[in-house]
């Protein structure tokens, strides 16, 4: 090792080493050492040859290893200042060939179908069948669709006490207001629904379709359909955009669109399994064509771009109805081409 740059002190230590030791606080011997006159134990004595720096002349090291070279610690480079959000965004835009869109896989995905869902109140006996509406929304969500819900701003035909199955004579309710319960408040007047804003439309079932969206529950084949409902069905049909219906709501299409092929399930009650089987005959009387299907199936009318499923027209377990509605929603989304 070169001695250049070092000066030996009186005891043989380098000047730098002596200065370092001078800065360290001196340890006082313990009372035991003071009383006995002895120095600190040998285990606490420091080997002169093991001191940092150069060894003293003639000193023998208590270890078998020779002292290594003196290491000088390099200072850490200064850390760069954090980027502001604006500077970070600008840097990302410069780095991405097509802007930020190229950094997100979702930006490259095709936008899902825009689907309108038309409700008729809240509750199976005087409005929308809630399980059917929920199943439709779940399957649309799973299919990546963008959903907007609508309902006509009209009074209900009547209000049913669902705990008793009887009319509540002193009550009156609004279809739009009641439908907002299912839509969690995000709903619009049916009069605002336009085909240019949507790729498809779906009508859940429930007696509201036969009482509030039409008079089918009272007038049967001689029923009338609400003006806005009729407009929506005709406009989507004319635009070649798919229409989905379930449960009792296919009667709306049979009334408005002559020759439409729909299903409400079976045409015989079969011991109570299909309690509303007589609806199939009414559909034929309205000018529609009825197709027998199981509750888990959906019928696709390719010519009219219409998809229907029986849903609660059948007395069965809820998961079968859920599966049938899923088949209907899948058929509607497929017809949109998105």
Q: Which residues are catalytic?
A: 247
DSSP lists the bridge partners of residue 114 as 146
DSSP E strands: which ranges in the chain?
114-118, 146-151, 160-161, 166-167, 187-189, 200-203, 243-246, 261-262, 289-290, 299-301, 306-309
Nearest alpha-carbon partner for 313 in 281, 282, 269, 283: 269
Query: Which contacts qualify for 155-163: CB closer than 8 Å, 24 or more apart?
Result: 156/121, 156/126, 156/127, 156/208, 156/211, 156/212, 157/126, 157/211, 157/212, 157/217, 158/126, 158/211, 159/126, 160/123, 160/125, 160/126, 162/123, 162/124, 162/125
Half-sphere exposure at residue 262, Cβ-oriented, CA atoms within 13 angstroms = 32
Instruction: Tally Cβ neighbours within 10 Å of residue 257.
Output: 22
Which residues touch 34 (CB under 8 Å, ≥6 apart)? none
């Amino acid at each position: 090792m070169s001695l250049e740059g070092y000066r030996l002190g009186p005891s043989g230590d380098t000047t730098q080493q002596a200065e370092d030791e001078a800065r360290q606080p001196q340890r006082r011997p313990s009372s035991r050492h003071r009383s006995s006159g002895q120095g600190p134990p040998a285990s606490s004595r420091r080997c002169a040859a093991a001191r940092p720096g150069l060894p003293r002349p003639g000193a023998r090291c208590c270890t078998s290893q020779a002292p290594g070279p003196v290491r000088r610690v390099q200072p850490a480079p200064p850390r760069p200042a954090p980027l502001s959000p604006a500077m970070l965004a600008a840097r990302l835009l410069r780095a991405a060939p097509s802007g930020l869109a190229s950094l997100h896989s979702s930006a490259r995905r095709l936008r899902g179908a825009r689907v309108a869902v038309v409700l008729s109140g809240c509750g199976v006996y005087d409005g929308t069948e809630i399980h059917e509406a929920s199943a439709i929304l779940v399957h649309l969500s799973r299919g990546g669709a963008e959903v907007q819900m609508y309902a006509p701003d009209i009074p209900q035909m009547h209000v049913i006490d669902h705990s008793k199955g009887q009319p509540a004579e002193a009550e009156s309710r609004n279809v739009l207001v009641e439908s907002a319960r299912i839509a969690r408040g995000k709903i619009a007047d049916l009069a605002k629904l336009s085909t240019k804003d949507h790729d498809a439309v779906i009508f859940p079932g429930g007696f509201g379709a036969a009482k509030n969206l039409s008079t089918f529950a009272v007038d049967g084949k001689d029923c009338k359909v609400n003006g806005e409902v009729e407009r929506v069905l005709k406009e989507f049909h004319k635009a070649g955009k798919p229409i989905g219906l379930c449960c009792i709501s296919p009667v709306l299409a049979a009334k408005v669109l002559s020759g439409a092929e729909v299903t409400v399930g079976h045409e015989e009650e079969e011991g109570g399994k299909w309690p509303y089987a007589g609806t199939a005959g009414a559909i034929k009387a309205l000018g529609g064509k009825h197709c027998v299907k199981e509750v888990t199936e959906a019928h696709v009318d390719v010519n009219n771009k219409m998809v229907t499923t029986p849903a609660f027209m059948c007395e069965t377990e809820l998961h079968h109805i859920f599966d049938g509605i899923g088949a209907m929603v899948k058929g509607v989304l497929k017809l949109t081409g998105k």
